[in-house]
Amino acid sequence: MKLADLHTHTHYSDGTDSPQRVIELAKAAGLSAVAITDHDILNGHSEAAAAAQAAGLELIPGLEMSASDAGREVHMLGFFIEASHAGFQQQLAEQRTRRIARLHEMIARLQALGLTITPEEVFSQAKHQGAVGRPHVAQALLARGYVSTTKEAFDRYIGNGGPAYIAGSPLPPAIAIRAILEAGGIPVLAHPIYLKDDALIEQLVPHGLVGLEVYHSGHPPEAVQRYEQLAERLGLLKTGGSDYHGANKEGAPIGSTSVPYALVEALKQWKREHRTSTCA
Protein backbone atom coordinates (compact mmCIF):
# COMPACT_ATOMS: atom_id res chain seq x y z
CA MET A 1 0.00 0.00 0.00
CA LYS A 2 1.22 3.50 -0.87
CA LEU A 3 1.56 5.63 2.27
CA ALA A 4 2.03 9.32 3.02
CA ASP A 5 3.12 11.41 6.00
CA LEU A 6 1.29 14.73 5.78
CA HIS A 7 2.82 16.59 8.73
CA THR A 8 6.57 17.28 8.98
CA HIS A 9 8.78 20.23 9.90
CA THR A 10 12.22 21.38 8.81
CA HIS A 11 14.80 23.81 10.14
CA TYR A 12 12.88 26.62 8.42
CA SER A 13 10.54 26.54 11.42
CA ASP A 14 11.05 24.48 14.56
CA GLY A 15 12.42 21.25 13.14
CA THR A 16 16.11 20.38 13.20
CA ASP A 17 16.57 18.78 9.77
CA SER A 18 16.98 20.31 6.34
CA PRO A 19 14.26 19.82 3.73
CA GLN A 20 16.63 17.48 1.88
CA ARG A 21 17.09 15.37 5.01
CA VAL A 22 13.34 15.15 5.56
CA ILE A 23 13.00 13.81 2.02
CA GLU A 24 15.78 11.28 2.63
CA LEU A 25 14.08 10.05 5.80
CA ALA A 26 10.70 9.84 4.10
CA LYS A 27 12.19 7.77 1.30
CA ALA A 28 13.96 5.50 3.80
CA ALA A 29 10.65 5.02 5.64
CA GLY A 30 9.10 3.63 2.47
CA LEU A 31 6.69 6.51 1.95
CA SER A 32 5.31 7.42 -1.46
CA ALA A 33 4.54 11.03 -0.50
CA VAL A 34 5.40 13.52 2.22
CA ALA A 35 4.14 16.99 3.10
CA ILE A 36 6.43 19.66 4.53
CA THR A 37 4.29 21.82 6.81
CA ASP A 38 6.54 24.35 8.48
CA HIS A 39 5.00 26.95 10.76
CA ASP A 40 3.98 30.15 8.96
CA ILE A 41 6.61 29.79 6.22
CA LEU A 42 6.97 28.17 2.79
CA ASN A 43 10.71 28.63 2.32
CA GLY A 44 11.67 24.96 2.44
CA HIS A 45 9.51 23.87 -0.47
CA SER A 46 11.88 24.61 -3.33
CA GLU A 47 14.74 22.71 -1.70
CA ALA A 48 12.46 19.83 -0.83
CA ALA A 49 10.98 19.70 -4.34
CA ALA A 50 14.38 19.23 -5.94
CA ALA A 51 15.32 16.53 -3.44
CA ALA A 52 11.97 14.78 -3.84
CA GLN A 53 12.27 14.70 -7.60
CA ALA A 54 15.72 13.15 -7.35
CA ALA A 55 14.44 10.58 -4.85
CA GLY A 56 11.31 9.69 -6.81
CA LEU A 57 9.12 10.83 -3.92
CA GLU A 58 6.01 13.00 -4.18
CA LEU A 59 6.16 16.27 -2.24
CA ILE A 60 2.89 17.75 -1.01
CA PRO A 61 3.37 21.52 -0.51
CA GLY A 62 1.95 22.70 2.78
CA LEU A 63 2.35 24.69 5.97
CA GLU A 64 1.00 24.93 9.51
CA MET A 65 -0.57 28.31 10.17
CA SER A 66 -0.88 29.67 13.70
CA ALA A 67 -4.13 31.01 15.10
CA SER A 68 -5.85 31.22 18.49
CA ASP A 69 -9.29 31.02 20.00
CA ALA A 70 -10.12 32.18 23.52
CA GLY A 71 -6.44 32.03 24.48
CA ARG A 72 -5.93 28.54 23.05
CA GLU A 73 -3.54 27.84 20.23
CA VAL A 74 -5.22 26.56 17.08
CA HIS A 75 -3.04 25.26 14.27
CA MET A 76 -4.35 25.05 10.74
CA LEU A 77 -2.60 22.90 8.16
CA GLY A 78 -2.81 24.15 4.59
CA PHE A 79 -2.14 21.78 1.70
CA PHE A 80 -1.36 22.69 -1.92
CA ILE A 81 -0.84 26.35 -1.06
CA GLU A 82 0.13 28.46 -4.07
CA ALA A 83 3.35 30.16 -3.01
CA SER A 84 2.98 32.86 -5.66
CA HIS A 85 0.00 34.36 -3.82
CA ALA A 86 1.46 37.71 -2.71
CA GLY A 87 -1.24 38.51 -0.18
CA PHE A 88 -0.75 35.22 1.60
CA GLN A 89 3.02 35.66 1.70
CA GLN A 90 2.52 39.08 3.30
CA GLN A 91 0.25 37.56 5.92
CA LEU A 92 2.87 34.91 6.71
CA ALA A 93 5.53 37.62 7.06
CA GLU A 94 3.31 39.35 9.63
CA GLN A 95 2.85 36.05 11.44
CA ARG A 96 6.62 35.57 11.68
CA THR A 97 7.04 39.10 13.04
CA ARG A 98 4.51 38.30 15.76
CA ARG A 99 6.44 35.12 16.55
CA ILE A 100 9.56 37.18 17.27
CA ALA A 101 7.66 39.53 19.59
CA ARG A 102 6.12 36.55 21.37
CA LEU A 103 9.50 34.98 22.07
CA HIS A 104 10.80 38.25 23.51
CA GLU A 105 7.84 38.26 25.93
CA MET A 106 8.51 34.64 26.90
CA ILE A 107 12.19 35.35 27.48
CA ALA A 108 11.27 38.27 29.74
CA ARG A 109 9.00 35.98 31.79
CA LEU A 110 11.75 33.38 32.08
CA GLN A 111 14.20 36.03 33.22
CA ALA A 112 11.70 37.15 35.86
CA LEU A 113 11.70 33.55 37.09
CA GLY A 114 15.47 33.71 37.49
CA LEU A 115 16.40 31.87 34.28
CA THR A 116 19.00 34.10 32.71
CA ILE A 117 18.70 33.26 29.04
CA THR A 118 19.02 36.02 26.46
CA PRO A 119 17.23 36.70 23.17
CA GLU A 120 20.52 36.08 21.37
CA GLU A 121 20.73 32.57 22.84
CA VAL A 122 17.19 31.76 21.76
CA PHE A 123 17.35 33.18 18.27
CA SER A 124 20.70 31.53 17.60
CA GLN A 125 18.82 28.23 17.80
CA ALA A 126 16.88 29.24 14.68
CA LYS A 127 19.80 28.83 12.35
CA HIS A 128 17.94 29.50 9.13
CA GLN A 129 16.09 32.68 10.08
CA GLY A 130 12.74 31.12 9.39
CA ALA A 131 9.76 30.98 11.73
CA VAL A 132 10.94 30.98 15.35
CA GLY A 133 8.96 29.16 18.02
CA ARG A 134 8.89 27.65 21.48
CA PRO A 135 11.21 24.74 20.64
CA HIS A 136 13.97 27.30 20.14
CA VAL A 137 13.33 28.57 23.68
CA ALA A 138 13.38 24.98 24.93
CA GLN A 139 16.73 24.36 23.23
CA ALA A 140 18.20 27.48 24.86
CA LEU A 141 16.98 26.33 28.28
CA LEU A 142 18.50 22.91 27.63
CA ALA A 143 21.82 24.43 26.59
CA ARG A 144 21.91 26.44 29.82
CA GLY A 145 21.21 23.34 31.91
CA TYR A 146 17.94 24.62 33.31
CA VAL A 147 16.17 21.52 32.01
CA SER A 148 17.34 18.05 31.07
CA THR A 149 15.05 17.63 28.04
CA THR A 150 13.06 19.90 25.76
CA LYS A 151 9.91 18.18 27.04
CA GLU A 152 10.78 19.32 30.54
CA ALA A 153 11.08 22.89 29.26
CA PHE A 154 7.51 22.70 27.97
CA ASP A 155 6.19 20.91 31.03
CA ARG A 156 7.76 23.32 33.54
CA TYR A 157 7.91 26.66 31.76
CA ILE A 158 6.63 27.25 28.24
CA GLY A 159 3.82 24.76 27.65
CA ASN A 160 0.21 25.89 27.66
CA GLY A 161 -0.54 27.26 31.11
CA GLY A 162 3.13 27.39 32.08
CA PRO A 163 4.56 30.41 33.93
CA ALA A 164 6.35 31.68 30.81
CA TYR A 165 3.68 30.73 28.29
CA ILE A 166 2.48 33.40 25.89
CA ALA A 167 -0.39 32.64 23.52
CA GLY A 168 0.52 32.42 19.86
CA SER A 169 -0.89 34.36 16.94
CA PRO A 170 -4.03 36.37 17.73
CA LEU A 171 -5.36 35.47 14.29
CA PRO A 172 -8.80 33.84 14.65
CA PRO A 173 -8.94 30.36 13.11
CA ALA A 174 -11.72 31.44 10.75
CA ILE A 175 -9.37 34.06 9.28
CA ALA A 176 -6.60 31.49 8.91
CA ILE A 177 -9.02 29.22 7.06
CA ARG A 178 -10.02 32.02 4.73
CA ALA A 179 -6.40 32.96 4.04
CA ILE A 180 -5.52 29.37 3.12
CA LEU A 181 -8.55 29.09 0.85
CA GLU A 182 -7.75 32.36 -0.88
CA ALA A 183 -4.22 31.10 -1.55
CA GLY A 184 -5.64 28.04 -3.30
CA GLY A 185 -5.00 25.77 -0.34
CA ILE A 186 -6.96 23.21 1.64
CA PRO A 187 -7.45 24.10 5.34
CA VAL A 188 -7.23 21.17 7.76
CA LEU A 189 -7.39 21.48 11.54
CA ALA A 190 -4.18 20.05 13.03
CA HIS A 191 -3.94 17.66 16.02
CA PRO A 192 -7.44 18.38 17.39
CA ILE A 193 -6.74 16.47 20.60
CA TYR A 194 -4.67 19.41 21.86
CA LEU A 195 -7.68 21.74 21.68
CA LYS A 196 -9.66 19.71 24.23
CA ASP A 197 -12.78 21.12 22.59
CA ASP A 198 -14.38 19.11 19.81
CA ALA A 199 -17.19 21.66 19.58
CA LEU A 200 -14.79 24.13 18.01
CA ILE A 201 -14.27 21.78 15.08
CA GLU A 202 -17.96 21.87 14.21
CA GLN A 203 -18.03 25.64 14.64
CA LEU A 204 -15.27 26.04 12.03
CA VAL A 205 -17.02 24.05 9.31
CA PRO A 206 -19.28 26.96 8.20
CA HIS A 207 -16.13 29.10 7.92
CA GLY A 208 -14.70 26.78 5.28
CA LEU A 209 -12.82 24.11 7.21
CA VAL A 210 -12.22 21.26 4.76
CA GLY A 211 -10.36 18.60 6.71
CA LEU A 212 -9.38 17.19 10.07
CA GLU A 213 -6.04 15.67 11.08
CA VAL A 214 -7.52 12.43 12.37
CA TYR A 215 -4.25 10.49 12.49
CA HIS A 216 -1.47 12.12 14.53
CA SER A 217 1.43 10.91 16.64
CA GLY A 218 -0.28 12.41 19.70
CA HIS A 219 -3.63 10.70 19.12
CA PRO A 220 -4.28 7.47 21.07
CA PRO A 221 -6.51 4.86 19.36
CA GLU A 222 -9.67 6.02 21.09
CA ALA A 223 -9.09 9.59 19.87
CA VAL A 224 -8.47 8.37 16.32
CA GLN A 225 -11.77 6.53 16.40
CA ARG A 226 -13.58 9.59 17.75
CA TYR A 227 -12.11 11.89 15.10
CA GLU A 228 -12.82 9.41 12.31
CA GLN A 229 -16.46 9.44 13.30
CA LEU A 230 -16.51 13.23 13.68
CA ALA A 231 -14.91 13.79 10.27
CA GLU A 232 -17.42 11.48 8.64
CA ARG A 233 -20.35 13.18 10.37
CA LEU A 234 -19.17 16.66 9.38
CA GLY A 235 -18.12 15.70 5.85
CA LEU A 236 -14.47 16.59 6.45
CA LEU A 237 -11.50 15.11 4.62
CA LYS A 238 -9.16 13.06 6.80
CA THR A 239 -5.40 13.57 6.95
CA GLY A 240 -2.60 12.47 9.24
CA GLY A 241 1.09 12.52 9.92
CA SER A 242 3.91 12.18 12.39
CA ASP A 243 4.38 15.90 13.15
CA TYR A 244 8.09 15.22 12.77
CA HIS A 245 10.44 17.85 14.25
CA GLY A 246 13.74 15.97 14.27
CA ALA A 247 15.61 16.28 17.56
CA ASN A 248 13.07 18.83 18.80
CA LYS A 249 10.40 16.17 19.29
CA GLU A 250 11.08 12.70 20.58
CA GLY A 251 9.22 9.56 19.62
CA ALA A 252 7.70 10.67 16.32
CA PRO A 253 9.98 9.67 13.42
CA ILE A 254 8.86 10.31 9.86
CA GLY A 255 6.35 7.68 8.82
CA SER A 256 5.55 6.63 12.39
CA THR A 257 2.08 7.97 11.70
CA SER A 258 1.13 7.67 8.05
CA VAL A 259 -2.03 7.53 5.97
CA PRO A 260 -3.09 5.63 2.85
CA TYR A 261 -2.33 7.46 -0.37
CA ALA A 262 -6.07 7.47 -1.06
CA LEU A 263 -6.33 10.38 1.40
CA VAL A 264 -3.84 12.36 -0.72
CA GLU A 265 -5.97 11.61 -3.77
CA ALA A 266 -9.00 12.95 -1.90
CA LEU A 267 -7.15 16.22 -1.21
CA LYS A 268 -6.21 16.51 -4.87
CA GLN A 269 -9.78 15.87 -5.94
CA TRP A 270 -11.03 18.62 -3.62
CA LYS A 271 -8.41 20.99 -5.03
CA ARG A 272 -9.49 20.29 -8.60
CA GLU A 273 -13.11 20.92 -7.74
CA HIS A 274 -12.69 24.01 -5.55
CA ARG A 275 -9.63 25.90 -6.82
CA THR A 276 -10.24 29.55 -5.85
CA SER A 277 -6.85 31.26 -5.84
CA THR A 278 -6.13 34.06 -8.29
CA CYS A 279 -2.51 34.34 -7.02
CA ALA A 280 -3.25 38.02 -6.33
pLDDT of residue 204: 98
pLDDT for position 278: 47
pLDDT of residue 129: 66
Spans of all domains in the chain: 3-83+172-274, 93-158
Residue numbers of the chain with a pLDDT score lower than 70 = 128-129, 276-280
Q: In what order do the strands lie in the sheet with 211-216?
A: 237-241, 211-216, 186-189, 72-79, 58-69, 33-36, 3-8, 259-260
pLDDT for the residue numbered 125: 83
- CATH number of 3-83+172-274: 3.30.230.70, 3.20.20.140, 3.60.20.30, 3.40.50.2300? 3.20.20.140
Architecture field, domain 93-158: Orthogonal Bundle (1.10)
- The pTM of this model reads 0.90
Contacts for 88 with CB less than 8 Å, ≥ 6 apart? 81, 82, 179, 180, 182, 183
Kindly give the pairing relationship between strand 211-216 and strand 186-189.
Answer: parallel
Radius of gyration of the chain (CA): 18
pLDDT single digits (tens) 141-169: 999 999 999 889 999 999 888 999 988 78
The answer to whether the CB of 15 falls within 8 A of the CB of 22 is yes
Which ranges in the chain belong to alpha helices (H)?
19-28, 45-55, 86-112, 119-123, 134-144, 150-153, 173-182, 198-204, 221-234, 261-274
Cα-based distances in Å from 23 to 12, 16, 32, 54: 14, 13, 11, 10
